[in-house]
Structure 1
């Protein structure tokens, strides 16, 4: 008789192994958000000119529409707003940096101000000094009698130098909720601009009317701007 026949048969033991839990995915967090604020959206800056878009077989409106469709798939309730960045022909630097500066990105503005040469101070009794740090305007050494809202209007244009600002944007920014003054319409904005110009006297043409488009700040050789040490609130 074989030894195999005499050996007792033992039932095979089943060993159960608990599945290894998948590693927890780290929570994606935004950078520290200041207390009392909450994220309400984001800005995605895209640096591409018309020639580069055409070389890729598309154009800027096509890219915008494709991005909007992608966002509609990800978050159907999301609202979008697209703005095209305009810059002087031949502007140097990376496309995305030019775009950020043209669209008034706060970090890009701060970097630009740090790298830009400080303009020489004008003569004490000549020219225009727009002093954002002290909220005043000096005309040939004398303080111009601007109201708070008139200075806000001038500052709004100065901080967006190179852009033509339409009346609707001025109203939406300078006459927001909680403002004590009655919100003007687009026609009465012209009245506010006329009053501002009248107080600028011989230098009224630093606030330029772009027919059919809005207003813009024109810097002259006799105009100096003194920026505040911290970013102006209306930039944000």
Structure 2
């Protein structure tokens, strides 16, 4: 990817405008973020933008214009924020989705994990829980768990968002996104699916934890192994 677009600066950069007429409570009154692992606190975020120079030019902008627009917006919303921008370079003609190429080029952990060679699955899996995302298998104390397609989808969704509490509404909209509205399950139906999933996890059922009044969260134990491999879906934090 050429960096020439970063050196050009088309006139009148466009950028988002901060919304000024929404009442924002003082920092001391804001609730703590949900679903964070114990002992952690947010310190910022990364936004991966998949867009090559030709596509940007077709939209009438360049990468430098977009970076400038984002920085201006952040400066309006949070003047104390520090920013750092970097461009992801890839060989000319590299295939794949732009955003996936960017995440890999910038060494985003989940993207890097999916490129690692798959470990051969031993015939005798040791004790504990092994969740093999790439092969869509779950082994419990060396035995294969007989999860249904939807039960594995549910477990996988939680595993890929480890430590984050997922609301029931999100589970319904994400796991039943291709279902007609009349056929989509209600939020309480999710509880039934979770109960069945837990029953098949046996003594490890508490890796799927209930967060009262919100939803569910995957909590990894020392005896839980996650195997990702190629083709692992990409979780979206926001």
How far apart are the structure 2 equivalents of 1:67 and 1:208? Answer: 38
Give the secondary-structure state (helix, strand or coil) at the position aligned to 2:171.
helix
1:150 aligns with: 151
In the alignment, structure 1 residue 125 sits paired with structure 2 residue 114: no
Give the secondary-structure state (helix, strand or coil) at the position aligned to 2:19.
helix
1:167 aligns with: 168
Change (3 A) 1:90 1:193: closer
TM-score (norm 2): 0.53
Cα contact 1:165–1:216 (8 A) shared by 2: yes
1:96 aligns with: 44
1:184 aligns with: 185
Cα contact 1:166–1:214 (8 A) shared by 2: yes
1:212 aligns with: 213
2:72 aligns with: none
1:67 aligns with: 18
Cα contact 1:171–1:183 (8 A) shared by 2: yes
Give the secondary-structure state (helix, strand or coil) at the position aligned to 1:96.
coil
Q: CA deviation at 1:202?
A: 1.2
How far apart are the structure 2 equivalents of 1:212 and 1:91? Answer: 22
> Which protein shows a greater Rg?
1
How far apart are the structure 2 equivalents of 1:210 and 1:133? Answer: 28
Change (3 A) 1:189 1:130: same
Change (3 A) 1:191 1:91: closer
Change (3 A) 1:179 1:206: farther
- Gapped runs of 5+ residues in structure 1? 1-24, 29-43, 45-65, 71-83
Cα contact 2:133–2:232 (8 A) shared by 1: no
2:54 aligns with: none
2:57 aligns with: none
- Gapped runs of 5+ residues in structure 2? 1-9, 22-32, 49-98
Cα contact 1:164–1:214 (8 A) shared by 2: yes
How far apart are the structure 2 equivalents of 1:207 and 1:127? Answer: 15
Aligned length: 159
How far apart are the structure 1 equivalents of 2:224 and 2:208? Answer: 12
Q: CA deviation at 1:183?
A: 1.1
Q: CA deviation at 1:188?
A: 1.1
Q: CA RMSD in A?
A: 4.4
Q: Deviations over 1:165-213 (max 9, x none)?
A: 1100100100013479931111111001001001111111110011111
How far apart are the structure 1 equivalents of 2:35 and 2:201? Answer: 29
Give the secondary-structure state (helix, strand or coil) at the position aligned to 2:44.
helix
Cα contact 1:110–1:231 (8 A) shared by 2: no
Q: CA deviation at 1:98?
A: 7.1
